[in-house]
Amino acid sequence: MKIIKGRVWILIDEQGRLIEDIDTDQIYHNAYLHITDISQMGQYALGNLKGYEDFPLKVGQGDIIIAGRNFGAGSSRQQAVDCFLALKIGAIIAPSFSPIYWRNAINSGLAVLRCHHLNDLVSNHRLESGDILEVNVHSGEAFNITKKIAFSIEPMSPVQLAIYLAGNLFAYGRQMVRQG
């Protein structure tokens, strides 16, 4: 049973609303696309997102990012996922993700989770930056430990869960070969 537990980072604008359509150039700018070493990518995470330029300096291992709808719009760059792996981010939760970003994250073993009522949770202050959140990726049960509030997210699909538990698509592929 896999439970993700971490401190919450909510990506909000100046009006306190979840930022929607955060694109891959805001997550990981195209000036650094030539980099192939994952360990070098963390320092650029969210470096072009207004108000979050110093995110890599402040974030901690296992932290959970909460973002608005269509997270990861734009480019197919894997670095927009890898930069969070480099920082050992525990999960990213958003109402929806861009299709390519969604696949890239799943294939790299980064936990991406959909939660359709995030906007309400955030605007009603039932989920705030700094809260400690616990998520069961099998059942979709989420619990804000700090505020003692339970809510639900979409559980991982079978293939997403299998890849996540294997570690990434390559490890999953080897498992499939072994199992014929």
Among residue numbers 125 through 144, which ones bind other proteins (CB under 8 A)?
none
Q: Is 43 in the site for other proteins (CB under 8 A)?
A: no
Q: Is 166 in the site for other proteins (CB under 8 A)?
A: no
Binding mask 9-28 for other proteins (x = CB under 8 A): -----------xx-x-xx--
- 40, 100, 126, 147: which one contacts other proteins (CB under 8 A)? 100
Residue with tokens 């480019």: 75
Distance CA 85, CA 167 (A): 12
Sign of the alpha-carbon torsion through 87, 137, 163, 52:
negative
Residue with tokens 């639900």: 152
Cβ-proximal residues to 57 (8 Å cutoff; 6+ apart), any chain? none
**Which token pair is 41?**
């990518």
> Rounded to a whole number, what is the largest CA-CA distance in the chain?
53
- 52, 56, 98, 122: which one contacts other proteins (CB under 8 A)? 98
Among residue numbers 48 through 67, which ones bind other proteins (CB under 8 A)?
48, 50
Q: Binding residues for other proteins, per CB under 8 A?
A: 20-21, 23, 25-26, 29-31, 33-34, 36, 48, 50, 69-70, 73-79, 81, 96, 98-100, 102-104, 107-108, 157-159, 168-170, 173
